[in-house]
Structures are given as C-alpha cells and as structure tokens.
Structure 1
Amino acid sequence: MEWTDETIAKLRALWAEGLSTAEIGRRLNISKNAVVGKAHRLNLPARPSPIRRLEGDATPRQAAPKRTQGPTLPPLAASIGAPVPALRAIMPAAKSSSPRATPCCWPIGEPGKPSFHFCNAAAATGKPYCEEHASIAYVRVRDKREDAA
C-alpha cells in the first residue's frame, strides 16, 4: 500500500478519535497490521491496553516460607543391606542327540488343540524346515516377463 498525505491525515484523525486499529483499517480499506505498522513509524501516541483488569481481583500471592535447612536424605550406609549371593542361571540341557541337528519347525494341526505339534524331522542346512516342508515354504517366483509373451 502506498501511503499518501491524505491517508496519513485520515489515519492521524481516526487514531486521535480513539478508534481501534481494526476499525481504522476497515475505514481506510487496509489491514489492521498496516495501521499498526504505520502508526508505529509515525510515532503516534501509545494506546491503553484494551484488556481491562479489575483492581480488586488481583490477590497478592504469599511468599513461600524460606527453608532453613535443605531436605535430608537417609545415610548411604543405612540404605545398603547385606550382600546377597549371586545365583547362577542354569539353562536346561537341549534334548537333541546331535548338537547341530535342529528339528523342522513346520506346524502340523490346529494351534490350541491337543493334537497340534511340529514336524520335528531334521531341518535342512540354513533353513528352519526339513527338505519336504522347505519345498512348500520356499516357492520360486516366476519371472513376470514370461507372462508378457
């Protein structure tokens, strides 16, 4: 917006009337922020705050009593009890005849039913399933280019 001498004179007159910045902006067809900025640059007198405060409402806060001594912690030696002997964790032995043989993890039956179990045949090297179940689990993906022909 370009401020002409005429609009500056109108701004000064409306400011002197005590209109709000929003109302002045509406009358001059400019934004409220443009009015605030120009009033600041023109060093127009400051306005009282539009927020009204009742003098009787403000109740003074009472100062907290000063501590004469900081909070005390229990002595460190009193909080330490007698040493408890550390227990070694003992893992149950694996139920496998060969340390390298791992059972097939293919589920058989419905989970939650008493007949549910795993295949337990010797798993193929590097796989969780035996050869038979690995052939079912790991299916080669066909090349999509074969379908295009």
Structure 2
Amino acid sequence: MTASAWTDDRIGRLKTLWLEGQTAEQIARDLANGITRSAVLGKVHRIGLSAGRSGRPPKGSDARPKPVGLSPARSLATRPIDARPVVAAEHGLATVLSVRRCQCRWPFGEPGAADFSLCGQPVTRGAFCALHAAVAYRPAADTPRTLDRLALLD
C-alpha cells in the first residue's frame, strides 16, 4: 500500500489557503511535491470545502488591471441608444491559452502580435461581455416588423 500525498499537515494547509481565497493553482504551487491543481480541487470537493467559499476571490487579491473608460465619441458609437455608458478595458485580461468558458472572447490587437489578448470579462451574452455583446449582436434592421412599420401596415 502506498502512502497518501495528503498528510494531515497538507490538508490543514489546504483548508487555510482555500478559506483565505487562494486559487487551486496557487495552493498546488504552495503544497508542491506532486500536488496538482486537479488534486487540490478533488480534495476540496471530497472534504466539503467547495461549499464554504464563494466563486470570487477576496477583495485585494485580484492583480488584474482595472477597466478604463472609452473616449466619449467611441462609447456613444459602440453602445445601444437606451443603455448607460459602459466601461471597457484598453487591453484584454486573458490570452488564447488562459481564457475560460465564461470569459469574453473579444480580441484586442492582431492575432499574430505578442500583445494580442482577449477581453476576459464575465460573459453576459453569447461569447461576449455586456459591452462587446452590444457591438457584436446588433438587431437586424430589415425584420418583417420593421418593414411593416415602414410600409405603414402596422
């Protein structure tokens, strides 16, 4: 029988780090010696810690750049008429390799360039955040209802 990599000390350290808001990847790096991100997530689930923390990291632990506003001319051109002004990032928070399923995939820069990135904000519609969905998903101008209104049939 082989000894488990999960000693009482490691489990205690896992609980402490998890409840502090560390990610599974950070915890795996801290514990080292063969403990992977997946092993951390599995152990967290098995000992019931996954219900003891919200999905968000605690305040102050987010090292990502904060979004900045668009210029007034651009923000008017890229938002729906009845919506409030929206904030967008100058560059993305994710890369092609780091973007997750629930993160906006709006591209920034040229795909072959070293500084190419993706938005990375939480998805609200389709594959995009609220700001980029407003640009990407425009209503069709010539819907049957619009044509009826134009022909004064409505």
Rg comparison, structure with higher value: 1
- When normalised by structure 1's length, the TM-score is 0.35
More relative contact order, 1 or 2 (CA 8 Å, 6+ apart): 2
